[in-house]
Structure 1
Amino acid sequence: MESAHKNAPESFTSAEECVDKLLEVVGKKIVLALPLGLGKANHFANTLYARAAEDHTISLTIFTALTLERPHGDSDISRRFIQPLLDSHYSQYQDLAYVPARRKGHLPGNIQVIEFFMEPGSLLGNNYAQQHYVSANYTQVPGELISRGVNVIAQMVAPSECGDKYSLSCNPDLTLPVLKLAAQRKDYPLFLLGEVNTQLPYIYGSSELPASAFDFLLKGETFDTPLFAAPALPVTFTEYSIAYHIASLVEDGGTLQVGIGALGDAVCHVLRLRHKENALFCRILNDLVEEDAKRYREELPLCTGTFKRGLYGASEMVPHGFLHLRRAGVLTRRVYADATIQHLLDSDQITDTVQEETLLALKNAGRISCPLTVADTDFLQQLGIVDPSYSWRGHKLLTPDGEEEECDLHSEHGRRRLIGSCLNKKIAGGIWLHGGFYLGPELMYRELRDLDPREGAGLDMIDISFTNDLQSQRDLKLAQRQHARFVNSAMMVTLGGAVVSDALVDNHVVSGVGGQYNFVAQAWDLPGARSIIALPSVRMRDGICESNIVWEYPHTTIPRHLRDVVVTEYGAVDLRGKTDRDVMVAMLSICDTRFQAVLLEQAKHAGKIEKSFSIPESFNKNTPEHLASVFNDEKCLAELPHYPLGTDFSDEEALLAVALQHLRSADKSWWKVLANIFKGRRVWHDKSSSADYIQRCLQRMGYDHTETYEHRLEAYIVAAALHEYIDQRRPLRRE
């Protein structure tokens, strides 16, 4: 086998020719790693898959996660909504070839697909996918790949203007640590292939690799295809309420991690409101948080002020909302790749503007010597503290004028000479967001492409071992990650505080562990950090309401000895260091009123809560009706749109998505359906201006030329749902 490391990569314009060459140099046993989410080299992977499907002497194992596929409807109503989207948003997207084969159970025997994280809920009931799931923490995956003998990484990359570098952009998360592990093993055969797509945003910094790092490159118009867009989901009042409680836990000058989805959008939007519309934020929060409830978060007082110091992002997932927080002046705290600089900044001994005091503080901290050494000078010039025109000759600095100069920090003259043109400029290298991967709507990709390079330099996409744990560069991370708040979602939480996030009671995997455990462990290890687990208190299934706070569950993602902060729409509770009895009482305080009595009885029966305890009066407000009353005024409704970060949908599509989301969980009992049919029929025949808007939505669904009885009834049901949400008076987008 040839070496996987060459001075220049071989370039191809044909995926077929590239596969020919790969098989020639690698052989017929291929363990292929594809990045999770957006960064997969789909064209190459599909060509390789087709070759292996034809030639059963090829052994192909694909190890990946979060396989993206174009949406598909599971009912006539959803298909009517989705089909035009496939034409307008996904017409040029090439699904991975193994997706339909795996769904139908038709994968060839010589091809194996293994995932460690699945698109949530997408592969329930798929026996093959369930059997080939690997349960692993995100940070364990690079080692797992090496142990499985991965020999090819195929990734979509963005080209630099000069073509001498390529950015891993959306997915340096696993590629960088796998490359590092392979390099540590002598003669480990690992080939890196880049599928070049100019539509992928070019991200500078850690995700940049020289062209020589690649063995193969695929270039050409064939590979310049639109990126997979993950549409924003509509945000409900439940998510907004959870977001308000979370926003009140975030300290100014702190660190933030948050995930994708409607809750992530809501959290970012409410943090923006806290900064930009502080009076409204405080009023709504005051209405949501009962005075009695504050005792369940005594160690976490309400944070309600604007962000003067700002936040820094350290998140495996970079959601669209982080870009909004940056523009809003919230994500402004910068961190630096030196622990001493970071300590000096955090303790206000220096500012991020270069002054004489900067040099003195670094000297007093022992970070630099007096006189300066060569290493000191290089360090200071990289940070933009010493004039870049200084150079070394022997043991002395050579000034811009060609004079030799002692590197004396004791005199004002010496310090000013060294600083030179750097005086009053910002210290270089500040990062406002470290991320592992990103995924979002087309709006997000456009914003990333349009970032000014100076602004983009503060966004560093980096390997997952940096964002998700503290094992490497521990002192630096301790300095950077002040007052960290790690926000993650769960499906259920037990009354004792154990968290269920990845699988159902029968062990069918919904998504995966991902990085959740990593961030929970970090929160316990970082001084002042907290893990925040967020979930709606209830879920609707076929019109039946079920509690997401349960007495017990056969397995957990986060064990109860790591319980920390749990948030529902009814409040936030601090479980860290509490007794089982106090944990359970606190959890009851954020449980939906309809399920408190049953859970309390179970706790009493188990001897975990005393028989004399009764539900406090303040818990009785934990109802959807109370939440609706909190948000029901014009100013509040205007600031809490369905799509706070914008959407790729048209207005009609955006409203339909809201209505159809409600229909999926609505009560399916015959009398409810019949009532909606009669209501929708009245709307169908209404001639008012709001009804005209509904008619346009129904036309978008193809109901304007409906002739069959069944389709007309569907149209009535959709019309009723649309009318309900127009009556809410909430805007679709933020102006």
Structure 2
Amino acid sequence: MTERFATAEACVDYTIARLGKTLRLGAPLGLGKPVQLLNAFFRRAEQDPDIELHIYTALSLEVPKPASHIEAELAGPIVQRIFGDYEPLAYMEAQRAGGLPPNIQVSELYFKAGAMKNMPAAQQQYISSNYTHIARDMMAAGVNVLLQLVAARDTDEGLSLSLSCNPDVALDVIRNKRAQGRDDFLCFAQVHRDLPFMRHDAEVPATLFDGVVENPGYHRTLFAVPNTAVPAADYATALHASTLVVDGGTLQIGIGALGDAVAHALILRQQQPAAWQDAVDRLTRIDSGCQTEHGPFEQGLYVSTEMFVNGMLHLMEAGVVKRRVYDLLALQQGLNDGLISEDVDARLLDYLRRCNVLPGQLTPECLQSLQYWGILPDTLQINDGVLSLQGATLANDMDNPATRAALVKAGEGQRLRHGRVLHGGFFLGPRDFYQKLRDLDDTGQERICMTSVLRTNQLLLDYPLYCAQRRHARFINTGMMVSLSGAVTSDALENGTVISGVGGQYNFVAMAHDLPGARSVLCIRSTRGKGKALRSNIVTHYGHTTIPRHLRDIIVTEYGIADLRGQTDAEVIRRLIAVADSRFQQELADWAIKQGKLPADYEVPAAARNNTPYRIAKALSSHIADGRLPAYPFGTDLTPEELTLSASLRRIKALSDEPATFLREVLRALLHRGDKEAARPWLERIHLMHPDSSRDFIVQQLLMLELEEHGLLKVR
């Protein structure tokens, strides 16, 4: 019996009555957290010190908070517009305020990048785990309560639920607990009517849960992640990476500016191949050492990803992601080999007969399976071993010419069904992304399957089938640093500080080595910081590793592609230096020579000696100016004024990192005396028309100079 609760507090009461006061609570990462239900458990434990509460989760989302009052003036309306009445996570607020009560612990398996750098409790309670092991580790930790935000719809059979954005781990935890027949485990769903209802593996009966919480007051704004601006360097990296993607292959990309840049680069390759090729040619200075691809996608791509990001939906809309895969090995192999198409015709039936997928004589179970895939018509029936089709009786003999002819005729104009162009574990993105998912029609729903990460992130469940589906796979992710050995750091610093988490990166890199024809592509910005704080992200060595050197594969920076797979240590170093920023190449080379890893006469190749931001900006300038490489390829929630202000204020803030430069620019701005009236729309937006302090006056003057130098104000 599934209980129905009108309030989160009633669900907490029920749980304590059933399980007592030792609660090991699991919740999904990201969007799938039922905030009101989580907060009710937290507040109850906060009020009752006898409750021992340990929360296991990942990627706890927080509404951004401005760092200064000027930023607040700009960000306030934007935050309200995007996040509305989103309710904060109480445990995050407690951590930010200085600590959790002693009877409450929070362990995360993945942080929002950089969010917990200065949070000792969060760093101490962090659990490092591959995504595919999270369900296992949560069960081993004794999780006895699972909470999940769900979508819902009413059907003739009753309430139907969808795990929607997060079937990734919940499916496996619940099913494993149910299989064990444990009576010390409860799982609850909180309904949110704005959450997109995803079907297939994500759709579950309400009876899967011990209780369902639905309260109209809980249907607050869903957390949305705004699109971020894509700088020229990220576009350069993405354009290089887009040459590695094979038509008819498989794709996985990550979140953020680099993920958006890769998706847009692939769309440009599809829709404007000449412009795409020109941009690639302008950037390419070195031989990557690996085969590159060109031209639009005729067969299209299939996506197998842990995270379904906004860019992937745009790739579907652009006709790049369109290759369907089928969970029937013979079908998939026949399609891969070109022996059949998705048309239901004589060639398909003959092929399946040879494979014995279509047996000589049909059984009811076999007929049902073949009808599911659309191979045999829905009107075909079997009664007492005899076939009937639209009133005509047919011999139950698939080698009978009359039966075969009737089936071929019935299949004319029909195509295979239940092919998927995307399998994903979870989704998170901007508001319009959620709206598009809510608006999916039956055809759109048919193409997308949200499912467990045990399917998307590994090959173990069905190695032959997944190998057939994930042909020519390109798993494109990001890293923070790469050492000259080819080892990559993506989740933490060498002092142990966790920046984000391993997530599924190791899963995809390992899968790329195990999957025939697959490659792991790790995109890394060549540098970080500015001025005196500028550092290379290609380093001699580093004290923390996410991806070990023996799994090195392809590294891409804005300066090119380094194919490291199967190469000697010396060649790996040569190729990494060739894609490093030129301001750091010689010191990298000198270190390698000193360590005996490069010959003493090594010199940085001439073609790689101009790896500078200026060269990248110049190479892409015409494509940026013409709008082919826009700052926000998939749109933005910001107004034009807000875009201008945010960019200008970022540049002004960056000046503070260089005191000498800052003072010089302040003096120049004060002597220049900008035109306040011309700048009125921007100044009024952040209440700087009449500054209240000397600091605000300086920011006002710098801002006017910024606006003028970027062509937005007339020069007096």
| TM-score where L is the length of structure 2 | 0.96
Contact 1:513 1:557 survives alignment (8 Å): yes
**Stretch moving more, 132-141 or 84-93:** 84-93
**Pairing partner for 2:607 from 595, 600, 618:** 618
Matched, 1:499 2:494: no
- Supply the distance in 2 between the matched residues of 1:608 and 1:684 (Cα, whole angstroms): 57
TM-score, normalising length from structure 1? 0.93
One of 6, 18, 21 as aligned partner of 1:13:
6
Amino acid at match of 1:213: L
Q: What corresponds to 2:297 in structure 1? A: 307
Aligned residue pairs total 711
Matches within 5 A, 1:122-521: 122-162=115-155, 164-187=159-182, 189-290=184-285, 293-294=286-287, 296-297=288-289, 300-401=290-391, 404-418=393-407, 421-521=410-510
Alignment partners' CA distance in 2, 1:588 and 1:87: 46
Which residue identity lines up with residue 698 of structure 1 in the other structure? L
Mapped to 1, the partners of 2:513 and 2:635 lie a distance apart of 35
Question: Cα distance, 1:57 vs. partner?
Answer: 1.3
Shift of 1:584: 0.2
Q: Contact 2:479 / 2:524 at 8 angstroms: preserved in 1?
A: yes
Report what 2:643 is aligned to.
Answer: 654
Tell me which residue corresponds to 2:78. Answer: 85
Amino acid at match of 1:95: P
CA distance in 2, matches of 1:484, 1:424: 31
Q: Which residue identity does 2:412 align to in structure 1?
A: L
Deviation at 1:721, TM superposition (A): 4.5
Of 685, 688, 704, the residue aligned with 1:703 is 688
- Per-residue CA deviations over 1:569-606 (Å, capped at 9, x if unaligned) read 00011100000000000000000000000000000000
Q: 1:631 to 1:727 in 2, by over 3 A?
A: farther
* 1:493 partner SS: strand
**Once the two structures are superposed, what CA deviation does each residue of 1:435-484 show, in whole Å capped at 9, x if it has no partner?**
11111111111111122221122111000100001110111100100100
**C-alpha distance in 2 between matches for 1:44 and 1:726:** 51
- Which residue of structure 2 aligns with residue 732 of structure 1? none
Q: CA deviation at 1:277?
A: 0.7
The 3 A distance-change label for structure 1 pair 686 and 413 is farther
In 2, Cα distance between equivalents of 1:723 and 1:581: 50
Report the equivalent of 1:36: 29
3-state DSSP class of the match of 2:357?
coil
Match of 1:629 in 2: 618
Separation of aligned partners in 1, 2:640 and 2:354: 60
Please name the residue that 1:733 is paired with: none
CA contact under 8 A between 1:396 and 1:407: conserved in structure 2?
Answer: yes
Specify whether residues 662 and 168 from structure 1 end up closer, same or farther in structure 2 by C-alpha distance, changes over 3 A only.
farther
Tell me: CA distance 1:15–1:698, structure 2 relative to 1, closer, same or farther (3 Å): same
Find 2:108's aligned residue among 106, 115, 126: 115
Asked if structure 2 preserves the Cα contact closer than 8 Å seen for 1:139 and 1:515, the reply is yes
| Matches of 1:507 and 1:353, distance apart in 2 | 55
Residues 42, 96 of structure 1: 8 Å contact kept: yes
Greater shift in the superposed pair: 365-374 or 47-56: 365-374
Cα separation, partners in 2 of 1:331 and 1:621, compared to 1, 3 Å: same
Instruction: After TM superposition, give the deviation of residue 232 of structure 1 in Å.
Output: 0.9
Does 1:538 pair with 2:532?
A: no
Q: Which moved more, 1:106-115 or 1:189-198?
A: 189-198
> In structure 2, how many angstroms separate the alpha carbons of the residues matched to 1:556 and 1:634?
37
- Checking the alignment, whether the CA contact within 8 Å between 1:371 and 1:406 is kept in structure 2 is no
Question: Which amino acid counterpart does residue 63 of structure 1 have in structure 2?
Answer: Y
| Contact 2:282/2:620 (8 A) holds in 1 | no
- State the shift of 1:20 in Å: 1.4
- What is the DSSP-based 3-state SS (H/G/I as helix, E as strand, rest coil) of the residue aligned with 1:639? coil
Report deviation, 1:487: 0.8
Residue 106 of structure 1 is matched in structure 2 by 99
Name the counterpart of 1:715: 700
Equivalent residues in 2 for 1:681-700, closer than 5 Å: 685-686=674-675, 692=678, 695-700=680-685
Change in CA separation of 1:720 and 1:383 when aligned onto 2, cut-off 3 Å: farther
2:179 is aligned with what amino acid?
Q
SS in 2 for 1:638: coil
**Aligned-partner Cα distance in 1 for 2:532–2:362:** 72
Aligned to 2:557: 568
* Structure 2 letter corresponding to 1:123: M
3-state secondary structure, aligned to 1:391: strand
**1:47 is aligned to 2:47:** no
Distance change (3 Å), C-alpha of 1:498 and 1:603:
same
Worse-superposed segment, 564-573 or 469-478: 469-478
Instruction: Extract unaligned runs of 5+ from structure 2.
Output: none
- Alpha-carbon contact 2:269-2:276 (below 8 Å) kept: yes
Give how far 1:514 is off.
Answer: 0.5
Q: CA deviation at 1:724?
A: 5.5
Distance 1:681 1:281 in 2: 44
AA at the equivalent of 1:176: L
Deviations 1:288-327 (A, max 9, x none): 112xx22x42xx3221110000001111011100111111
Uncovered stretches (5+) of structure 1, i.e. residues with no partner: 1-5, 729-735
Paired with 1:632 and 1:142, the residues of 2 have a C-alpha distance of 47
Counterpart code for 1:580: D
Q: Quick one: distance in 2 between partners of 1:354 and 1:724?
A: 63
